[in-house]
Amino acid sequence: MASIIGAMAASHSPLMINNFDEAPKEQKDNIVGGFDKLKEMVEQLKPDVILSIGNDHLRELDLSNMPQFIIGIGESNKTMGDFNLPKVTIRNHQGLAQHLLNYSLDHDFDLSYSVDLNLDHGHSQTLYYINPSFDIPVIPMIINSVAHPNASLKRCYRLGEVLRNAILSFEDDIKVLIVASGGLSHWPSTLSIFNGHPANLQSEDDQRMFAIISGKDHSDEAEQFRIQRSKKMSEEGKTGRVNAEWDRWFLKCFESGNITDIINLSWQDIMDNAGGGGQEVRNWVCLWGAINGVPAEVISYEPVREWVTGMAIASFKV
Ligand SMILES: [Fe+2]
């Protein structure tokens, strides 16, 4: 039977790649060191497959069709190479992916599915740091964390529980590592125009951005516009706020196994305290459900203003 041999969670920030030098050395060392530890763990664990729980940023999925949960079941999936991350094809484990889909459907989770996902940094950044060769098969699960309304945290935790039971009932003797990517607090540029209220569009830039996230504009020009807009907003101080106090509270809950306070967080609680980007903690919560809420071991935390994100890295003894 399949087994869950490890679990790890980390924040992602594309500015960690594109604005690496701007962050203070101590913070950089702590975060890079944390990712190195995860990479060492992966090398020791030697998983047969990674279940990667992350989110898209209105690149692959957009407002023309927004599933709350979507699983990749094709032979392989791609990374789109946004923010200068590698553009690669990653093998899937189709047998387990299909089983997760079927099992979830049989247990009241009507997941969407795709045979060919193009993953943005919401998956590819963490995968790149923990397995730079991308040679371990990956089953991608995308949770909508960007386009309001979103599934509740209770529902995300419950999905994790169902995925756990699905993995443990898979007949092949394979080792599964679960990885979550997202959060913690941040107020990124895309969501500063959206935040569930498209009526908030004010500037010409906002309108252009909304047009991009409303349709399938994957042109290089659109991507360059997004990157430049993100950098400009960071330089102007319009993004970059990080709520370290909330992040530390969140991590304490994970360290102490305080599931109740986490799953009772509402969308508004998160929006008020951790920003639009904080909604990505859904990925952590889904992972937690898949490992029965065992306490986290926090490896690193830094509120990195220059990367506009509360950067946290944690592992779990499963
Ligand atoms: Fe993100």
Condensed to tens digits (0 to 9), the pLDDT of residues 40-98 reads 999 999 999 999 999 999 889 988 889 999 999 999 999 999 989 999 999 999 999 99
Q: pLDDT by residue (tens digit) across 270-283? A: 999 999 899 999 99
Phi–psi pair at 300, nearest 5 degrees: -145, 145
Rounded to the nearest whole angstrom, what is the distance from the C-alpha of residue 35 to the centroid of ligand 1? 17
Structural domain spans, the chain? 3-316
Rounded to the nearest whole angstrom, what is the distance from the C-alpha of residue 155 to the centroid of ligand 1? 20
Query: Of the candidates 101, 92, 93, 74, which has an alpha carbon nearest to the alpha carbon of residue 159?
Result: 101
Is 70 exceeded by the pLDDT of residue 13?
A: yes
Rounded to the nearest whole angstrom, what is the distance from the C-alpha of residue 146 to the centroid of ligand 1? 8
Q: pLDDT by residue (tens digit) across 82-140? A: 989 999 999 999 999 999 999 999 999 999 999 999 999 999 999 999 999 999 999 99
Rounded to the nearest whole angstrom, what is the distance from the C-alpha of residue 55 to the centroid of ligand 1? 7
Rounded to the nearest whole angstrom, what is the distance from the C-alpha of residue 106 to the centroid of ligand 1? 30
How does 29-38 read in b/e, with b if 16+ C-beta sit within 10 Å? ebbeebbebb
| pTM of the shown model | 0.94
Rounded to the nearest whole angstrom, what is the distance from the C-alpha of residue 171 to the centroid of ligand 1? 34
Rounded to the nearest whole angstrom, what is the distance from the C-alpha of residue 107 to the centroid of ligand 1? 29
Of all residues in the chain, the percent with pLDDT exceeding 90 is 75
CATH topology of domain 3-316: Protocatechuate 4,5-dioxygenase; Chain B (3.40.830)
Q: Which two tokens stand for residue 268?
A: 């508004």
